[in-house]
Amino acid sequence: MAKLHLFDMDGTLLYGSSANVELARELGLVEEFHALDADFLAGLIDSPHYARRAYELWQDLTVAQVAAAFAAAPWLEGIREVWADIRARGEYCAVISLSPDFFVRRLTAWGAHAAFGGRFPELPFRGAPLDVSGLLAPESKVRIADRLCAEYGLTRAQCVAYGDSMSDAALFSVVPTSVAVNGDHHVSGLATFSYAGQDLRAAYELVQGV
């Protein structure tokens, strides 16, 4: 039976990091994003406010800088190999992340059938307004998974989810098979399997035969 493998990015495919952190390093804005993250975790700002502030900090961001941040990021080993095996089996793989789509979409070049992130204007921004309705929430992962199932002729019963944190809990709760990849307490109790390490091939091996 064919499967749809759904991967989170920040903290999952990206080991101990996120797109925002990697972009901050590339732009020399680490302190600014640390402060922004602290305000968000403290409940001083909400997700739309966070996105608007990040967008302001990214106004001079270029495609070349995104490419450099992507290339330097601490990706798990074996991502391309896992996705090549999924394709060889006639199955599907997609990435759904709350991070900006201009970073997430680059993973299609590694073999993902689809990659979704929060929608931002195309780079360079040139002062274009940010429409916060295009941002994603944890529940968006379920909606996108359902849309992909309809597109590929599958059901939730054929989905496998891989994630690490609170943003993955909603998806983990509606699919039959899930893998907590370096997961925290938000997903450890929901996951079918757990993996700690830096090689996606080992996490993927856990669902073979399921």
Residue 114: which CATH number?
3.40.50.1000
Query: Among 105, 110, 94, which Cα is nearest to 19's?
Result: 105
Residue 123's pLDDT is 94
Q: Cα torsion at 51, 26, 30, 62 (round to 10°)?
A: -30
- The structural domain count of the chain equals 2
pTM: 0.96
Please check the confidence at residue 9 and state whether its pLDDT lies above 90: yes
Tell me the CA end-to-end span of the chain in Å, nearest whole number.
10
210 belongs to a structural domain: no
Per the listing, tokens 């039959």 go with: 176
Mean pLDDT of 48-62: 94
Same domain? For 61 and 82 the reply is no
33 belongs to a structural domain: yes
Same domain? For 31 and 117 the reply is no
Please check the confidence at residue 126 and state whether its pLDDT lies above 90: no
Give the helix, strand, coil percentages of the chain, each rounded to 5: 50, 15, 35
Residue 209's pLDDT is 85
- The tens digit of pLDDT for each residue in 180-197 reads 999 999 999 999 999 999
Same domain? For 132 and 189 the reply is yes
Q: Taking a C-beta distance cutoff of 8 angstroms, is the pair 10, 100 a contact? A: no
Same domain? For 150 and 186 the reply is yes
Domain that holds residue 156: 4-15+75-205
Same domain? For 8 and 111 the reply is yes
Same domain? For 52 and 154 the reply is no
Domain boundary, last residue among 71, 96, 114: 71
Residue 40's pLDDT is 87
Least confident of 63-67, 125-129, 140-144, 186-190: 125-129
Residue 83 identity (one-letter amino acid) = W
Q: Which residues contact 109 (CB under 8 A, 6 or more apart)?
A: none
Residue 20 identity (one-letter amino acid) = N
Coil vs helix vs strand at 193: strand
Same domain? For 89 and 152 the reply is yes
Query: Among 180, 104, 176, 169, which Cα is nearest to 137's?
Result: 169
Q: What is the sign of the dihedral through the CA atoms of 108, 96, 100 and 133?
A: positive
Percent of the chain clearing pLDDT 90 (strictly above):
93
Mean pLDDT of 137-154: 97
66 belongs to a structural domain: yes
pLDDT band per the 50, 70, 90 thresholds, residue 104 = very high
Same domain? For 89 and 142 the reply is yes
For residue 173, how many other CB atoms are within 10 A of its CB?
A: 12
Q: Taking a C-beta distance cutoff of 8 angstroms, is the pair 95, 107 a contact? A: yes
Vertex 80, ends 180 and 64: CA angle to 5°? Answer: 105
**Rounded mean pLDDT of the chain?**
96
Q: Taking a C-beta distance cutoff of 8 angstroms, is the pair 97, 8 a contact? A: yes
Least confident of 45-49, 163-167, 168-172, 195-199: 45-49
Same domain? For 184 and 196 the reply is yes
CA distance 112 to 142: 18
Please check the confidence at residue 91 and state whether its pLDDT lies above 90: yes
Same domain? For 63 and 99 the reply is no
Same domain? For 49 and 84 the reply is no
Same domain? For 86 and 145 the reply is yes
152 belongs to a structural domain: yes
130 belongs to a structural domain: yes
Residue 142 identity (one-letter amino acid) = V
